[in-house]
Amino acid sequence: MALGKRINPFLRINNDTGFGVNASSYGGRFINKDGSFNLKKEGLPVWQRFSIFHTLLNIPRWKFIAVIILSFIIINLTFTFIYLFVGVDQITGIIATNKWQLFKEVYFFSTQTFSTVGYGRVNPIGGEDNHNLTNVEVKVNLSLLEEENGKMIYKFYDLPLERSRVDSLSMNFTVVHPIDENSPLQGFAQEDMQAADVEVYVLVRGFDDVYSTTVLQRTSYTYDEIKFNVKFVQMYRESEDRMTTILELHKLNEFRVLG
């Protein structure tokens, strides 16, 4: 139906809206209430018309969150069944005693791998062994509770090390602090360490050739975790064919009492 009312012919017309002027070719409104165009496209195959990225941008927020959570669960379930099918011989740290516990631990391993947060107790045997560190630096600090001007305060000391840097950490590295006249621990017995609330802070930093970036690890040892009159056991041995050095990782924290 033509408009009966006359429009001022001198009004400025905007022809740059992007909409056509052929009224017979339009159906319904131009723009929907949600701001989208009232337009349906045809003529392209389904795989060319559908865009996951565009769809996720336009769906409601709750649907987007649901899709992300559901996708995360499905992907990790898929990999969990794959790991269980091929076997878990190359995954260490599993302590499951039944099938349900094994399923949960393998699913947890899959989520760790998928999210790249790093491995904990459950980790791949081969992947763990292939990480080598270069330009490794170790820094050790000591905190002591001391009395000063009638007040108990903490003081912090850098502990000098026999070797604070190694070019390549392919084997084990025992960090040694000589307790001599330059050490704040000279003359300390176990009860002295307890009275001073001793804590040793250790920072290890190096370049990981798998991640191609610098990685670091921090830890500390309190006075009650320090062992006296002991020595770490040797962690490596020669292979039976004398062609390879075997690094025994299960001996990482093993020590023996000195006679």
- Residue 61, domain CATH: 1.10.287.70
pLDDT classification of 21: cutoffs 50, 70, 90: low
Report the C-alpha gap between 208 and 256 in whole angstroms: 31
- Size of the chain in residues: 259
Could you tell me if 147 and 214 lie in one domain?
yes
Q: Which of 186, 162, 189, 155 is nearest to 176 (CA)?
A: 162
The answer to whether the CB of 80 falls within 8 A of the CB of 107 is yes
Q: Measured between alpha carbons, how far is 109 from 124 in angstroms, rounded to an integer?
A: 9
Owning domain of residue 108: 54-124
Same domain membership, residue 222 and residue 135 = yes
Q: Which residues pair with 213 in a beta bridge?
A: 208
pLDDT number for residue 36: 76
**187 shares a domain with 143:** yes
User: How would you classify the pairing of strands 133-148 and 199-208?
Assistant: antiparallel
Asked whether residue 148 falls in the same domain as residue 219, the answer is yes
Residue 67 confidence (pLDDT): 92
**0.85 cut: is pTM over it?**
no
Q: How many domains does the chain have?
A: 3
User: Is it the case that residue 124 has pLDDT exceeding 90?
Assistant: no
- Look at residue 9 and give its three-state secondary structure: coil
Residue 7 has pLDDT above 80, yes or no: no
Q: Tell me whether residue 21 is in a domain.
A: no
CA quadruple 218, 224, 227, 233: dihedral sign? negative
- Per-residue pLDDT at 32: 81
Whether 202 is in a domain gets the answer: yes
SS3 234: coil
pLDDT tens digit sequence for 60-79: 899 999 999 999 999 999 99
With bands split at pLDDT 50, 70 and 90, how would you rate the model's confidence at 118? confident
Measured from the Cβ of residue 59, the count of other Cβ atoms closer than 10 Å reads 13
For 85-89, 139-143, 173-177, 222-226, which range has the lowest pLDDT when averaged over its residues?
Answer: 85-89
- Other beta carbons within 10 angstroms of residue 205's beta carbon come to 16
pLDDT tens per residue, range 204-237: 999 988 778 898 989 999 989 999 999 999 999 9
